[in-house]
Chains A and B, each alone.
Chain A
């Protein structure tokens, strides 16, 4: 079965602390993995995709096929990073549908 697991509902850190939001997936083929972010009262937007291997707003995520993980990391959290983060998988060859994890709410305290 295709599944995305985000084990933490809520992650609370202090400003300047490192952050790691965990994501594990279950899929037998070659998936595409994404991180989406939803700031308060804003629309869902793409943060990162594994294929690009980029850093956006200081966040990075590496696909580890051996561990079937795609954890999101940032070395120094900022208050403006507080948001809901969703890890999503798109099965290879699929008709575009995204399978979302349940999300992790990140709260960065001053």
Chain B
């Protein structure tokens, strides 16, 4: 299995809802990432996990809460989001976080709409 999968594909939620995005990979990668991509903009890094530990948090608001329960799974818990949080949320993985030939493989994304 050489793909990163993300569920759900689409998510619509209200500002008071609690929801979670899920990302999975079975390539044995030990680094996983969450990116946010607004329409017609490049992906922006949110979080990096290295060996299941959070190594980078790019000053993301606490209404986004990442979780890495094991080396194959990455979750993003959402609570009390704002309409401006509507975006495509991309998950990526790579063999490790540093070193060469360390390609990041991206999932298809979850398109989130906050009403």
Contact = CB atoms under 8 A, between A and B. Distances in A.
B42 A96 contact: no
A95 B108 contact: no
Contact of A94 (B90, B94, B98, B108): B98
Contact of B42 (A46, A52, A93, A103): A103
Interface size class of A (residues with CB under 8 A): 20 to 34
A96 B107 contact: no
Contacts of B33: 96-97
A76 B106 CA distance: 28
A96 B43 contact: no
A49 B42 CA distance: 18
A71 interface: no
Contact of B41 (A43, A99, A102): A102
A94 B11 CA distance: 32
B97 A45 contact: no
A97 B32 CA distance: 10
Given A95-B55, A98-B45, A44 B100 contact: no
Contacts of A94: 97-98
Nearest to B40: A103
Contact of B97 (A32, A46, A96, A100): A96
A43 B104 contact: no
